[in-house]
Amino acid sequence: MDGTIPAQSGSGQFDTIVIGGGHNGLAAATVLSRNGQKVLVLEKNNYVGGMGATREILKGCRNEVGASCLFPLASEIQDYFEFEKLGVELIPLPIMAVNFCGSDSPPLIFFKNPLRLAIDVLRKFGFSAMVGMVGLMRFCNYPAQVIDRFTARKAPQNLEALVSQAPSARRRKQLEIAFKGSAMDIIDRFFPDKEKHRVLRGNMAFAAVQATYKGPYTPGSALCLVYTLAQEGSGGLMQRVKGGMGQLSQALTEQLVIRGSEVRLKQQVVRVLLEENRAVGVELKSGEQIFANTIISNLDKPATFRRLITELELSESYEKKVDGANHHGAFVHMLFKLKGMPQYSKQFSDLNNMSGAAFGGAMVLDAEQLQQAYETCLQGELPDKMPLAFQFPTVHDKTLAPKGFHIASAYGFYFPCSAEKSLRGKLRDQAAASIIDHISEYMPDFRDLITDQAIFSSDHFESMHGATNGDWTHGALHPEQMLGERCLVEGTGHVTPIENLFLCGASCHPGPGVTFLPGYNCGHEVLRLALSPVDADAGEQAAMDPLPGDVAA
């Protein structure tokens, strides 16, 4: 995709300009377009989707630099966007992940069928492990309900308010642990045996730290565990998108064009235009100025207020929320082109005959080693061994690579993202070698099958996608910057202290992941504030209902 994607109607004054064509920006634009607005989406890259895009990185392949699996969508989001009716094909994963914790232990296999998962845990790790898994899910269920991560069109409260509203002292204590404790405060309750439960402990610890700059023993990491285990929509099941995650954003782009809006590529916004304290338009790198009634930024808070708005001084309270959030991208993302599909090693050979077991999963460390890896990262050094999540998408989707080839990807943690910039190139090379070594521990022929590879650190995510410090979460999942604390103006989800300027990206509640909720919620908040109080309820319902003939058109 290249250049401008023109509207079917003629150009003219726009009702809304959206800065950034990531999935949340496109979601906000779609909501507004469905309600009669003419929207202009401006994207600095030559593709849509941002960190949920699909494009060619390795020759002849369709690669994802960012999100690679579709996790649960809120039911309202599924009903509203109807991606499958727009031509998006979702691929179910009978085995969602195969997770390893050392070559001397059996893998933890996440089967789609919950009964099969429970039986496998019982068989491999014993009765106490199965009971612990059930207990962990039950414990996290209540705080997950309180967080209300998947409810659309609802401004979140802050954590302190939610704790104070707990119905009993026991529930308050449970929330205190879930919101302020460490992940291991919870994991130790249900998997107390460090030897017998080692694989479960390592896997749950890894699940708790992928979206936060913390170790599993660090206070505050429990919240990320609760977020990860919260379920909605598809019941917590992972799916692949045929053709790559970018197909979701492409589907929304096509619908925007049909409705008379525009998506312009290779158009970098360098400034939000203000009149007094009101956003009135944007200025592009070319010098062109475009005006609209509403401006929506899909960038994070520092990127919006420190890069695009320089002439306005924020009050102390807003400055704290914009500048005080933790933005650390302590990861590397690797892509591989392979001349064949690797096989699991002898001790895991049964996986080679298990349908879907080669798709992906994680290669984790003991919880204590994971904490040490985090602390090594804090010192600006690379851990001795990098825990990682991996995928071979071509196991389920042959369209992503040339005939006879496969692609693979891996996220490695913890990359020392605060190290001196002059050292990061060498550190990236070392991280790449570490990741290949770790994968080869379980797939000995992996290294010999590599024909091409690329590695991206947080520096690349910052330059490619404008994310502050390359932080794909737009603000790590730390308790002091989640839920209501993620909002700038109390009682709203997306309003900013600048009139007519809104935020719609993952820096808003509920945060990171391809959920479409921040963009969807922002679109509805813009509509609600544009209506009189008398019309607000009717307008919200109209915004929920697809326009007749939209999908068919």
Query: pLDDT tens-digit profile of 269-286?
Result: 999 999 999 999 999 999
Give the model's pLDDT for residue 232. 62
Average pLDDT over residues 206-216: 94
Residue that has been written with the tokens 């998408």 in this structure: 393
Domain ranges (residues) in the chain: 4-57+65-71+244-326+475-544, 110-237, 328-466
Average pLDDT over residues 236-240: 81
**Nearest alpha carbon to residue 67 among 515, 518, 398:** 515
Give the model's pLDDT for residue 406. 98
Is the per-residue pLDDT at 533 higher than 50? no
Is the per-residue pLDDT at 17 higher than 80? yes
Contact (Cβ atoms closer than 8 angstroms) between residue 50 and residue 462: no
Average pLDDT over residues 227-256: 86
Exposed/middle/buried for 141, CB within 10 Å: 0-12, 13-18, 19+? middle
Is the per-residue pLDDT at 57 higher than 60? yes
Q: How confident is the model at residue 553 (pLDDT cuts 50, 70, 90)?
A: very low
Give 141-153 pLDDT, tens digit per residue: 999 999 888 889 9
Residue that has been written with the tokens 């190290």 in this structure: 419
Is the per-residue pLDDT at 238 higher than 70? yes
Average pLDDT over residues 475-492: 93
Contact (Cβ atoms closer than 8 angstroms) between residue 392 and residue 359: yes
Distance CA 153, CA 520 (A): 8
Give the model's pLDDT for residue 72. 80
Give the model's pLDDT for residue 7. 41
Give 453-479 pLDDT, tens digit per residue: 999 999 999 999 999 999 999 999 999
Give the model's pLDDT for residue 40. 98
Give the model's pLDDT for residue 310. 84
For the domain made up of 328-466, the CATH class stated in words is: alpha beta
Is the per-residue pLDDT at 234 higher than 80? no
Q: How confident is the model at residue 55 (pLDDT cuts 50, 70, 90)?
A: very high
Distance CA 383, CA 374 (A): 8
Contact (Cβ atoms closer than 8 angstroms) between residue 304 and residue 503: yes
Average pLDDT over residues 249-268: 97
**Nearest alpha carbon to residue 238 among 93, 416, 386, 393:** 93
Average pLDDT over residues 317-325: 91
Mean pLDDT score across all residues of the chain = 91
Give the model's pLDDT for residue 236. 58
**Nearest alpha carbon to residue 70 among 270, 251, 284:** 251
Distance CA 263, CA 408 (A): 31
Q: How confident is the model at residue 311 (pLDDT cuts 50, 70, 90)?
A: confident
Of residues 311 and 382, more confidence is placed in 382
Residue 260's alpha-carbon distances to 9, 31, 45, 288, 307, in angstroms, are 5, 13, 22, 22, 30
Exposure string of 227-257, with b = 16+ CB inside 10 Å and e = fewer, is bbbbbbbbebbbbbbbbbbbbbbbbbbebbb
Give the model's pLDDT for residue 3. 53
Is the per-residue pLDDT at 547 higher than 60? no
388-391 and 278-284 strand pairing? unpaired
Q: How confident is the model at residue 1 (pLDDT cuts 50, 70, 90)?
A: very low
Residue type at 498? I
Give the model's pLDDT for residue 530. 82
* Omega cis (within 30) before 414: yes
Task: Look at 64-73, 213-222, 243-252, 461-470 and tell me which has the smallest mean pLDDT.
Answer: 64-73
Give the model's pLDDT for residue 229. 87
* Omega cis (within 30) before 107: no
Give the model's pLDDT for residue 313. 87
* CATH code of the region 4-57+65-71+244-326+475-544: 3.50.50.60
**Nearest alpha carbon to residue 54 among 436, 401, 343:** 401
Q: How confident is the model at residue 329 (pLDDT cuts 50, 70, 90)?
A: very high
Of residues 541 and 40, more confidence is placed in 40
Is the per-residue pLDDT at 231 higher than 50? yes
Residue type at 307? R
Sequence-ordered list of residues with C-beta below 8 angstroms from that of 257, at least 6 positions apart, any chain: 5, 6, 7, 8, 263
Q: How confident is the model at residue 230 (pLDDT cuts 50, 70, 90)?
A: confident
Instruction: Give the HSE-up count for residue 395: Cα atoms under 13 Å, Cβ half-sphere.
Output: 25
